[in-house]
Structure 1
């Protein structure tokens, strides 16, 4: 599952975002009935732990998979770690050069520029990020009212899904944004690669949901607040399935 816009409502200040009511409880119940529960997010692992660390067995993939928390241990990509000094320098530059209305999020191995509270600065923020990406050889990820600079490593939600689904027969993925398209498409390839595999791709609809994601989804739910109810329905069905 994605986090922002999927298990949470979008907020102007990303630091204030919390799971919607019932989400943690629904995931906890589900975790006792399925092989694995994972959250794949642009957020750092430490942030995700503060929201979901109590869900038993949950695996947290932060920064599009550059970080992972599982069984109490955090690991991160050695390649990404080498980019931390570049990110530190870019943070200082962003704070000096960008308007104060643009919120600058320090993710340690990447940085994100949020202009939701000042959409008139979209072009300014995106152009600045594009120039820095070109200058430093970083990747630019554009999301809803966000421009993120991250290390040039072949790692996205699709590669995470490809690894996490090994050995499984049925996988559901919930998302809302353009980065979730990589997960949707990886899951489609996974299901076609072997008979007997089932993939269910769920788009969470709200004003910022990516249009292409809605078109590719197998199921669409109306907003993050509807997700816990769907998870509970799945858990109820699993709990009452015939044995064997």
Structure 2
């Protein structure tokens, strides 16, 4: 067992369990609006939430969407940091800054950029806009062709581009998953941390785990096409939830042993 996991099991009250949503708790699907948490997810997270210091989901999705798609409202003490940390959902309450004024510019400018590109989908995420190429005949070539014009449009609007697997997301600058996770660790005075993710946007959170100075574990649940350094590699959402269930088993065993 990695030292980070040992620290979590030995002192669960000081542990923060951080998780991405898509590809980590929910299987990747062609239509992002059809994504739902793995069937085992709500029960495993509810169980873990009773045992550790905090469970926090850090996602590019709107926080309320992650709660809805994950059936997560009943997870004890859950915090969801949406839009890479710009939004916060906790105990049924959502807090968020004003919508970035540049979003209207990109919402108007993206349709002409993708016109004629079969299989390209624009997703309005309220405080961000994503361009998906997963359903294109050649997803990677289509994504590569869009990088430069999408980056130019984002720059005009004062937005940042967050690349992912077959997606380019245009969002407000100044926040990423690493910054969001680091701030949460300080807020909770964490003594150990685990973060699980599957895509490029999660690398900042992995770096935050390493930079925290805490006993930590990074868990990669994504495709082998991405070259990612992580302490553990698991097979998608079933692997993540199996790991979380094993942590809960070990904590409960320690309490009764």
TM-score by length of structure 1 reads 0.88
Give how far 1:17 is off.
0.7
Aligned mates of 2:73, 2:114 — CA distance in 1: 34
Among 222, 230, 238, the residue aligned to 2:251: 238
Corresponding residue for residue 140 of structure 1: 161
Aligned mates of 2:44, 2:223 — CA distance in 1: 21
Give how far 1:56 is off.
2.1
Q: Does 1:101 align with 2:100?
A: no
Corresponding residue for residue 228 of structure 1: 241
Correspondence 1:76-91 to 2 at 5 A? 76-77=96-97, 81-83=98-100, 85-91=101-107
Give how far 1:218 is off.
1.1
Among 130, 137, 146, the residue aligned to 2:151: 130
Corresponding residue for residue 198 of structure 1: 215
Aligned mates of 2:27, 2:114 — CA distance in 1: 26
CA deviation string 1:153-194 (max 9, x = no partner):
2x1111111111121111111011111111111111112xxx
Give how far 1:122 is off.
1.8
Among 44, 58, 72, the residue aligned to 2:78: 58
CA contact (8 A) 1:116 1:145 kept: yes
Give how far 1:76 is off.
1.2
Give how far 1:92 is off.
2.7
Corresponding residue for residue 29 of structure 2: 11
Structure 2 residue runs without a partner (length 5+): 1-18
Structure 1 residue runs without a partner (length 5+): 192-196
Corresponding residue for residue 194 of structure 1: none
Aligned to 1:226, the other structure's residue is in SS state helix
Q: Which has the higher contact order (CA 8 A, sep 6+)?
A: 2
Summarize the Cα distance change of 1:60–1:22 in structure 2 as closer, same or farther, 3 Å threshold: same
Among 153, 156, 159, the residue aligned to 2:176: 156
Give how far 1:129 is off.
1.1
Aligned to 1:241, the other structure's residue is in SS state helix
Task: Spell out structure 1 runs of 4+ moving beyond 6 A.
Answer: none
128-137 vs 3-12, which deviates more? 128-137
Aligned mates of 1:225, 1:68 — CA distance in 2: 26
CA deviation string 1:6-37 (max 9, x = no partner):
11111111110111120111111000001100
Corresponding residue for residue 186 of structure 1: 208
Aligned CA-pair RMSD: 1.8
TM-score by length of structure 2 reads 0.84
Aligned mates of 2:102, 2:157 — CA distance in 1: 8
Give how far 1:82 is off.
4.8
Give how far 1:242 is off.
4.3
